[in-house]
Amino acid sequence: MNDTTTETETLEQLLARTAMQDRAAFERLYQRTSSRLFGLCVRMMRDRGEAEEVLQEAFITLWHRAGTYNPALASANTWLTTLVRNRIIDRLRQRRESTSAETIDLEHLPDEARGPDDHAEASENAVRLERCLGQLDAKYSRSVREAFFTGATYKELAMRTQVPLATMKSWIRRALMQLRTCLET
């Protein structure tokens, strides 16, 4: 049995015990996962203070919803990451609603090039995803990045790029199919 399998089983056990309101299990779950999840928060929020708040909110949600975890549907890591990602997207949408008067020019987004530290930290899957995103048509790549990394809705993306809603949905669908094909090779 490898360390990854053991780690997954341990996280699943901790989630099950957390669902039964076991504070010690919740504390160990936090200790094992919070630094990785905080890194996700910082990368997506781009504000350390807000990232800390989002992580805290996510763990409060985790405490209340641990019983909804189903290991047959996803690994513990995937479930935790999704829970945190959804909380981040909620916060980004709240932030955007408060500053909705601003429009984003997708052509002039800041360069998201990774530095040496990011490359050292990036997993093989993240590198493959970045490569596959780079192979997409520019409009598809921008739309997917905005939708998944900032939580923008189809409607918001359609308005920003001044295309019909159905066109934006089609772009995202095509991009996701191309990404899946690229990642499977």
Task: Give tens-digit pLDDT for 68-82.
Answer: 998 888 888 889 999
CA separation for the pair 123, 119 (Å, rounded): 8
Question: Which are the contacts of 10, defined by CB distance < 8 A and separation ≥ 6?
Answer: 32
| Mean pLDDT of the 59-72 span | 91
User: Does pLDDT of 3 surpass 50?
Assistant: no
Q: What is the pLDDT of residues 26-47, one digit of tens each?
A: 999 999 999 999 988 888 888 8
Residue pLDDT, tens place only, 152-167: 788 888 888 899 989 9
pLDDT of residue 6: 58
Report the C-alpha gap between 84 and 89 in whole angstroms: 9
Ordered by where they begin, the domains of the chain are 1-102 (1.10.1740.10), 106-185 (1.10.10.10)
Confidence (pLDDT) at 114: 53
pLDDT at 101: 47
Evaluate if residue 1 carries a pLDDT over 70: no
The answer to whether 168 touches 161, Cβ cutoff 8 Å, is yes
Q: Which residue has the higher pLDDT, 182 or 105?
A: 182
Average pLDDT over residues 175-183: 84
pLDDT tens for each residue of 109-164: 555 555 555 544 455 667 777 888 889 888 888 888 888 777 778 888 888 889 99
* Residues 87/61, Cβ–Cβ less than 8 Å: yes
